């Protein structure tokens, strides 16, 4: 384990943070089993997909057969024998609901590519993308009909990693599909990237009909940390499966490396990142260092380095964030379990997308979007032997 982390762990005893009893335990499985000890009910929601992907990554990294078997059975339990994904509506178009497809594909592949029910379920999601309502230039609507002609960074994570992984498994030679995946990134980049800060705004409205839309670009007004976190993760994960021979690979890699630079520059001295990341709001009243994005950025940096997509210098950026997370965001409970703090419940482009809106959404304890991302990050720390 990283030395600074250990020292910090040993030093952190307080009224709410009891010193951990065993610092040699890997955080990935420790946080996963802590979450499981709370007995939550599984469904097809994307937050469950994130948590279960975390558990699966932790189990795989630590070779924990019992935990892996839990994750495998959990995913299996929401796909019926005939390939029906329980809770999914083939006629409701919301990108969030595609995310569980990644968990399904993971176990289909890892367990020998033979379970027909997973293939059917994944094909159902894939076919839905072919019918998806799109903006005039071809971007998937974030949700129909409420977010017509809008693309959000979050949606790239929810659907395009699945789209790319599915294509890599079942239609690797389908250039139309690879072009289409690239197009989703090209569109969101074109409309939401700030080329000075290299950060991206939360989303855009292609017809600029939304109250928050910039009259020229259609972009929403602020850089919301979690949306950017999802997007950073999505770039790394899509590049992992994207064909290197396709011109889109270099383009996406360019998006990734410039974003990595922008995010590094926005890192606070504490090691974390502000909820609203636009430079002028750093340290602003009611803005705060938020934990889910801090975890997502840490994961993306480390995984990007491991895959050779990002420069090794970013390991230091990630370690700084990791220390903050294990010192401040992980809460060491008296009964030996871990809790996760500091994650904002939600950030939506449903309303006016104002600074006031984003900064007054409550935080919640053990929020899966942050807790799951922390587990992702922990597995990369452990894989890198840090
Ligand atoms: C700490 O945890 C590790 C891994 O779970 C275990 O092997 C070891 O025995 C534990 N040590 C103590 C002092 O509890
Ligand atoms: C290739 O991808 C396109 C776009 O997603 C899709 O419409 C088409 O059905 C796919 N073709 C094959 C042969 O799978
Ligand atoms: C882009 O980011 C820079 C640096 O944070 C900022 O000064 C500028 O106002 C931003 N541009 C737009 C169009 O918001
Ligand atoms: C451990 O303590 C936490 C915090 O009080 C609690 O939420 C959790 O349910 C406890 N877990 C077990 C297994 O008792």
Per the domain annotation, does 27 fall within a domain? no
Per the domain annotation, does 20 fall within a domain? no
pLDDT the model gives residue 22: 52
Domain of 171, in residue numbers: 2-12+33-383
Nearest bound ligand to the CA of residue 331: 4
Does ligand 1 lie within 6 Å of residue 26's CB atom? no
* Consecutive H or E run containing 240: helix 225-241
Q: What percent of the chain has pLDDT over 70?
A: 94
State how far the alpha carbon of 52 is from the alpha carbons of 80, 99, 358, in Å: 18, 11, 27
| Smallest CA separation from ligand 3 atom 14, residue | 194
Query: Per-residue pLDDT averaged across 210-225, rounded?
Result: 98
pLDDT the model gives residue 9: 43
* Consecutive H or E run containing 192: helix 175-192
Distance from Cα 20 to the centre of ligand 1, integer Å: 12
- Summarised one tens digit per residue, pLDDT across range 53-84 is 999 999 999 999 999 999 999 999 999 999 99
pLDDT the model gives residue 385: 94
> Using an 8 Å Cβ cutoff, are 102 and 150 in contact?
no
Mean pLDDT of the chain: 94
pLDDT the model gives residue 18: 45
pLDDT category, 24, cuts 50, 70, 90?
confident
Does ligand 3 lie within 6 Å of residue 215's CB atom? no
| 3-class secondary structure per residue, 235-302 | HHHHHHHCCCCCHHHHHHHHHHHHHHHHHHHCCCCCCCEECECCHHHCCCCCCCEEHHHHHHHHHHHH
How would you class 261 by CB atoms within 10 Å of its CB: exposed for 0-12, middle for 13-18, buried for 19 or more? middle
pTM comes to 0.93
pLDDT the model gives residue 39: 85
Q: How many CA atoms lie within 13 A of 95 on its CB side?
A: 26
pLDDT the model gives residue 5: 45
pLDDT the model gives residue 96: 98
Distance from Cα 23 to the centre of ligand 1, integer Å: 8
Nearest bound ligand to the CA of residue 22: 1
- Summarised one tens digit per residue, pLDDT across range 248-280 is 999 999 999 999 999 999 999 999 999 999 999
Question: Tokens representing 289?
Answer: 């260092």
Does ligand 4 lie within 6 Å of residue 36's CB atom? no
Report whether pLDDT(7) > 60: no
- Summarised one tens digit per residue, pLDDT across range 325-365 is 999 999 999 999 999 999 999 999 999 999 999 999 999 99
Per the domain annotation, does 37 fall within a domain? yes
pLDDT the model gives residue 11: 42
Does ligand 1 lie within 6 Å of residue 25's CB atom? yes
Cα(377)–Cα(380) distance, integer angstroms = 5
Does ligand 4 lie within 6 Å of residue 40's CB atom? no
Per the domain annotation, does 21 fall within a domain? no
| Smallest CA separation from ligand 2 atom 14, residue | 171
pLDDT the model gives residue 67: 98
Distance from Cα 52 to the centre of ligand 1, integer Å: 25
Distance from Cα 26 to the centre of ligand 1, integer Å: 10
Report whether pLDDT(199) > 50: yes
CATH number at residue 123: 1.50.10.10
pLDDT the model gives residue 21: 52
Q: 367 in the Ramachandran plot: left (φ > 0), alpha (ψ -120 to 50) or beta?
A: beta
Q: Given the structure tokens 């929401």, which residue do they identify?
A: 78
DSSP letter, residue 25:
S
Per the domain annotation, does 50 fall within a domain? yes
Does ligand 3 lie within 6 Å of residue 216's CB atom? no
Q: 248 in the Ramachandran plot: left (φ > 0), alpha (ψ -120 to 50) or beta?
A: alpha
Question: Tokens representing 47?
Answer: 């937050």
Q: How many domains does the chain have?
A: 1
- Summarised one tens digit per residue, pLDDT across range 122-177 is 999 999 999 999 999 999 999 999 999 999 999 999 999 999 999 999 999 999 99
Q: 366 in the Ramachandran plot: left (φ > 0), alpha (ψ -120 to 50) or beta?
A: left
Per the domain annotation, does 17 fall within a domain? no
Per the domain annotation, does 23 fall within a domain? no
CB count, 10 Å around CB of 335?
Answer: 9
What is the three-class DSSP state of 204? strand
| Smallest CA separation from ligand 2 atom 4, residue | 177
Cα(161)–Cα(182) distance, integer angstroms = 11
Nearest bound ligand to the CA of residue 24: 1
Per the domain annotation, does 206 fall within a domain? yes
């Amino acid at each position: 384990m990283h030395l600074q982390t250990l020292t910090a762990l040993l030093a952190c005893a307080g009224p709410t943070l009891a010193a951990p009893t065993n610092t040699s335990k890997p955080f990935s499985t420790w946080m996963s089993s802590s979450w499981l000890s709370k007995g939550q009910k599984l469904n097809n929601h994307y937050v469950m997909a994130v948590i279960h992907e975390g558990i699966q990554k932790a189990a795989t990294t630590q070779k924990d057969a019992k935990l892996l078997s839990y994750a495998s059975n959990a995913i299996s339990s929401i796909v019926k024998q005939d390939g029906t994904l329980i809770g999914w509506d083939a006629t409701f178009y919301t990108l969030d609901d595609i995310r569980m497809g990644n968990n399904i594909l993971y176990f289909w592949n890892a367990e020998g590519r033979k379970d027909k029910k997973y293939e059917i379920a994944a094909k159902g999601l894939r076919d839905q993308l072919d019918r998806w309502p799109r903006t005039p230039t071809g971007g998937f609507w974030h949700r129909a009909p409420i977010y017509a002609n809008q693309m959000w960074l979050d949606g790239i994570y929810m659907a395009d990693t699945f789209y790319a992984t599915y294509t890599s498994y079942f239609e690797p030679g389908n250039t139309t599909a690879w072009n289409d995946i690239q197009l989703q990134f090209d569109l969101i980049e074109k409309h939401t990237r700030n080329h000075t800060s290299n950060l991206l705004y939360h989303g855009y409205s292609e017809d600029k009909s939304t109250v928050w839309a910039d009259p020229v670009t259609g972009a929403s007004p602020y850089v919301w940390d979690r949306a950017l976190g999802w997007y950073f993760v999505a770039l790394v994960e899509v590049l992992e499966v994207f064909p290197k021979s396709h011109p889109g690979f270099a383009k996406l890699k360019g998006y990734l490396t410039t974003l990595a630079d922008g995010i590094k520059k926005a890192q606070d001295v504490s090691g974390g990142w502000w909820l609203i990341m636009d430079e002028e709001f750093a340290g602003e009243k009611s803005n705060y260092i938020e934990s889910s994005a801090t975890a997502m950025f840490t994961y993306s940096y480390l995984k990007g380095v491991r895959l050779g997509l990002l420069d090794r210098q970013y390991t230091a950026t990630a370690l700084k964030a990791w220390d903050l997370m294990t010192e401040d965001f992980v809460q060491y409970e008296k009964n030996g379990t871990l809790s996760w703090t500091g994650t904002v419940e939600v950030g939506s482009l449903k309303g006016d997308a104002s600074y006031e809106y984003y900064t007054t959404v409550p935080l919640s304890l053990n929020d899966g979007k942050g807790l799951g991302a922390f587990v992702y990050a922990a597995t990369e720390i452990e894989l890198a032997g840090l």
